[in-house]
Amino acid sequence: MIFEKNLVEFDTDVGNKTKSVYRKLPETLTITENYSHKYTIYGTGSAPAVTITFVSTLTRRKYTYKVQLGWGEIIEKKYTT
């Protein structure tokens, strides 16, 4: 995954096949931390630790997603802004 402000790019690479899918975030959702960050989840499901924070003007909340080192598990926290 590559986060670039309001765009998320998902790249898959299996064998000799690669595929990219782009998803634009709604205008009410902004990535405030790690927005220009390339993030890799390996075929085994493991991943490096990262924290990604979104702010929603629609819900007036800040959403923080933490991916734990090695597990690839995503933990969500919601905060009122």
Q: How many Å apart are CA 79 and CA 3, to the nearest integer?
A: 21
DSSP 10-66: EEEEETTEEEEEEEEPPTTEEEEESTTEE----TTS----EEEEEEETTTTEEEEEE
Q: Are 32 and 53 in contact (CB under 8 A)?
A: yes
Answer whether 0.75 is exceeded by the pTM. Answer: no
| pLDDT digit string, tens, across residues 39-49 | 777 777 777 77
| pLDDT digit string, tens, across residues 22-70 | 989 898 988 876 555 777 777 777 777 788 888 899 999 988 887 776 6
Edge-first strand order for the sheet with 74-80 is 29-33, 50-56, 61-67, 74-80
